[in-house]
Chains A and B, each alone.
Chain A
Amino acid sequence: MKKLFLLMSTLCVAGLAHGPALADGETIAVFTKNQTNPFFETVRVGAAAGAKSVNAKVIQYIPIKPDSIPEQMSQVEDAIVRKPDAILFTPVDYKALVPGINKMTAAKIPVIGMTDRPAGGDIISFVGVDDYRLGLETSQNLFKAMGGKGNVIALEGVKGTLTSTDRMRGFTDALKQFPDVKLLASQPANYQRLQALQVMENLMQTHPQIAGVFAANDAMATGVVEALAGANRKALVVGINGSKEAVDLIKEGKMHASGSSDPFMQGCLGVLVTVRALRKMPVPKELMVTPVIIDSTNWRDHDIPVEKRSCPKLDEVAAK
């Protein structure tokens, strides 16, 4: 049992302290939501790359229990004790963590928001992506590929989350621009691969003709691809995140497109904006990463391992 606890605490330490101290520049505490979603892993790699490029160092704070509000709250308190020069903050919950932001600013530590915009609190700048635009542009890409007509199915993410709500709003608005595209069903699959597979299998029973599927994330899109392959049917499938798996499926022609919110760039720019603020350079109040729709025409640009990608220069950031 002692050994078990030892193992657990080793895991905790390993989970908390990803970023080694390399430079003697500014120290930035980077908060992300979990260690399970490849998206945040890429954000962290981007943040580390951004820090390295300007001689700063990052300390990663990641809840062991994914998206745990109390755990992130206590990590906020830990960070305040360690007094980093600034905090780059992705709240696990955009409302519940507002008091956490207030604590950090009360301790005179500047806070920059990243990925999920907090509902309140005094942040210097926000770096993220517009999920509405992501949903809109990914859907437009799908409807154009369908030739502006045909039947479409939508798979929603977790009900009540900002990302799913905004992406679905983008999808609905894109639908209005294409009057000949008909929405057969919009069903929840909670961002889960297995649920997406089963929901799609069920929907294929009632709908003999499906030309396109919009899934609010890539995990669901890959579930849909499996369901279609299992039933020997074909449809254009799009997802959101630009995950490596999705890029591979696009390469093989099994998936049509994935809207990427460029997590590497979000991490990079998050750190660079923070460093600019610390070095008294002007920073934008908000910096939105441009969505990239990855499809058969441009997947090669995104088939690069994250370790090999590079961040923009510190001077270029304000213009980005």
Chain B
Amino acid sequence: MSQAEATVPRRSLALSNDVLSVFYRLLAVGIICVVLSFISDAFLTTNNLLNVLRQASLVFFMASGLTLVILTGKIDLSIGATVGLSACVAATVIKATDSAMLGALVGIGVGAIVGLGNGLLVTKLRIPSFIATYGMLWVVHGITYYYMSGQSVYGFPAEFRAIGSGYFLGIPIPIYLMILFLLAGNFFTKRTTYGQQIYAIGANTVAARLSGIPVNSRLNLVFILSGAMAGLASLIYLARLNSAEGDIGETLTLPTIAAVVIGGTSLFGGVGSLFGTFIGGLILTLILNGMNLLGVSANWQPLITGLIVLLAVWLDMKTRSKTDASS
């Protein structure tokens, strides 16, 4: 879809496309689940489904902030690095002060500051977001390595660990947090002016600016939110893993971007939804879960993951061009 096609007058159509694309994704999740439940007895159990949702929650927290950035047509490659730095700083604060609350605030704050840095690089210095956040990735990694100097910090108080490994009414707490953020995020993007402006900027930045939307301040906002969500994800990581070291963020960025894209958010901006991102993360998590349950050999796992990701995106593009053509 070209940028001109997705301008404001066609909003209602973009929404119905959204609904359709989410529907196709749910269908994909359904197919994966049916196939897995036939080949593994362990798959369709309450335990395993809660297990999958809990694993998907970490991806969701990282990917939800990133979704907002991608909706504006920008990208944030510093997500993983930000998770690493936030986790390490929060971990040392918690160890030093024994205050989970202070650590949590600092962790989210560090993420928000990195996000603000990204935002300013993009809006003030006009550096393309791909380069700005790629540079930020190395700056943040560098600071993290220097800060940790090869050590790890571990062993956190139980009340802090509850947000990652605790249960309420038999359901893991991260799942509640994910649902909460999913609903709040969905409301923010679909029902508030801010959210609509984010879509409008991604659909056509020039038109958005001409119609009076404060583009730069909204871009700063999405980068700050992306950083803050990475900070929140780092807290869930810490609470689940009970340990932080300098390199934890290194492998997190690309799967996060994959979750957003599989979820149907267009890298060109203006199209997509948080609910789609949730499903994208769920699909990635289901693939790993399935391969583990079936005991797929290490030699084949990367290949299978790659093929399923390609298949998901290809199917999406196909269904998208069909609905576009039929309208």
A7 to B291, CA, bound (A): 44
A184 to B165, CA, bound (A): 26
A156 to B297, CA, bound (A): 11
Q: Chain A interface: which of B4-12, B45-53, B184-192, B306-314? A: B45-53
In the complex the two chains form, is A65's CB within 8 Å of B138's CB? yes
Q: Across the interface, which residues of A come within 8 angstroms of B302, CB to CB? A: 159
Q: Chain A interface: which of B222-230, B239-247, B268-276? A: B239-247
A132 to B56, CA, bound (A): 36
Q: Chain A interface: which of B27-35, B67-75, B143-151, B205-213? A: B143-151
Tell me which of B142, B145, B155, B289 contacts A202 (CB under 8 A). Answer: B289
A188 to B296, CA, bound (A): 10
A35 to B241, CA, bound (A): 21
Q: Across the interface, which residues of B come within 8 angstroms of A188, CB to CB? A: 298, 301
- Chain B residues 282-321 with CB under 8 Å of chain A are 288-289, 291-293, 295, 297-299, 301-302
Q: Across the interface, which residues of A come within 8 angstroms of B297, CB to CB? A: 186
B55's closest neighbor in chain A, by CB?
A198
In the complex the two chains form, is A198's CB within 8 Å of B152's CB? no
A243's closest neighbor in chain B, by CB?
B152
Q: Which label, helix, strand, loop or mixed, suits the secondary structure of the A interface?
A: helix
A156 to B292, CA, bound (A): 13
Report if A89 contacts B (CB, 8 A): no
A254 to B40, CA, bound (A): 30
In the complex the two chains form, is B142's CB within 8 Å of A205's CB? no
In the complex the two chains form, is A36's CB within 8 Å of B51's CB? no
**Given A38-B245, A185-B295, A187-B292, does the pair A205, B149 have CB atoms closer than 8 Å?**
no
Q: Across the interface, which residues of B come within 8 angstroms of A1, CB to CB? A: 125
**Given A36-B246, A187-B298, A203-B292, does the pair A194, B237 have CB atoms closer than 8 Å?**
yes
Report if B248 contacts A (CB, 8 A): yes
In the complex the two chains form, is A230's CB within 8 Å of B293's CB? no
Report if A245 contacts B (CB, 8 A): yes
Report if A197 contacts B (CB, 8 A): yes
In the complex the two chains form, is B150's CB within 8 Å of A41's CB? yes
In the complex the two chains form, is A66's CB within 8 Å of B139's CB? no
Report if A81 contacts B (CB, 8 A): no
Report if A226 contacts B (CB, 8 A): yes
What 0/1 pattern do residues 136 to 178 of B give for CB contact below 8 A with A? 0011011101101111101100000000010000000000000
In the complex the two chains form, is B298's CB within 8 Å of A156's CB? yes
**Given A66-B250, A188-B301, A197-B241, does the pair A36, B125 have CB atoms closer than 8 Å?**
no
- Chain A residues 179-194 with CB under 8 Å of chain B are 185-188, 190, 192-194
Report if A297 contacts B (CB, 8 A): no
A38 to B292, CA, bound (A): 29
**Given A37-B150, A206-B40, does the pair A11, B298 have CB atoms closer than 8 Å?**
no
Report if A61 contacts B (CB, 8 A): no
In the complex the two chains form, is A205's CB within 8 Å of B245's CB? no
In the complex the two chains form, is B241's CB within 8 Å of A15's CB? no
| B124 to A: closest C-beta gap in Å | 9
B120's closest neighbor in chain A, by CB?
A1
A64 to B139, CA, bound (A): 10
Report if B327 contacts A (CB, 8 A): no
| B305 to A: closest C-beta gap in Å | 11
Q: Across the interface, which residues of A come within 8 angstroms of B105, CB to CB? A: none
Interface centre among A12, A34, A36, A41 (most CB of B within 10 A): A36
Report if A319 contacts B (CB, 8 A): no
**Given A8-B142, A41-B151, does the pair A219, B245 have CB atoms closer than 8 Å?**
yes
| B120 to A: closest C-beta gap in Å | 10
In the complex the two chains form, is B150's CB within 8 Å of A11's CB? no
- Chain A residues 258-291 with CB under 8 Å of chain B are none
- Chain A residues 183-231 with CB under 8 Å of chain B are 185-188, 190, 192-195, 197-199, 201-203, 205-206, 219, 222-223, 226, 229-230
Report if B258 contacts A (CB, 8 A): no
**Given A37-B150, A156-B298, A194-B237, does the pair A11, B143 have CB atoms closer than 8 Å?**
yes
| A244 to B: closest C-beta gap in Å | 8
Report if A126 contacts B (CB, 8 A): no
Q: Across the interface, which residues of B come within 8 angstroms of A192, CB to CB? A: 248, 251
A106 to B149, CA, bound (A): 34
Report if B42 contacts A (CB, 8 A): yes
Report if A143 contacts B (CB, 8 A): no
B40's closest neighbor in chain A, by CB?
A206
Tell me which of B138, B243, B288 contacts A198 (CB under 8 A). Answer: B288
B172's closest neighbor in chain A, by CB?
A230
A193 to B45, CA, bound (A): 25
**Given A35-B145, A35-B150, A202-B288, does the pair A226, B240 have CB atoms closer than 8 Å?**
yes
The 3 A-B pairs of least Cβ separation, nearest first, read A41-B150, A202-B292, A188-B298
A to B CB contacts below 8 Å, 15 in the list: A1-B125, A36-B246, A156-B298, A159-B299, A185-B295, A187-B295, A190-B251, A193-B241, A201-B51, A201-B55, A203-B292, A203-B293, A219-B245, A222-B243, A230-B240
Give me 19 other A-B pairs in contact (C-beta within 8 A), A7-B139, A41-B150 excluded: A8-B142, A36-B148, A36-B150, A36-B246, A36-B247, A37-B150, A38-B150, A65-B138, A156-B298, A187-B295, A188-B301, A198-B55, A199-B288, A202-B288, A206-B293, A223-B241, A226-B165, A230-B165, A248-B155
Contacts from B to A (Cβ < 8 Å) = 40-43, 45, 47-48, 51, 54-55, 58, 125, 138-139, 141-143, 145-146, 148-152, 154-155, 165, 237, 240-243, 245-248, 250-251, 288-289, 291-293, 295, 297-299, 301-302
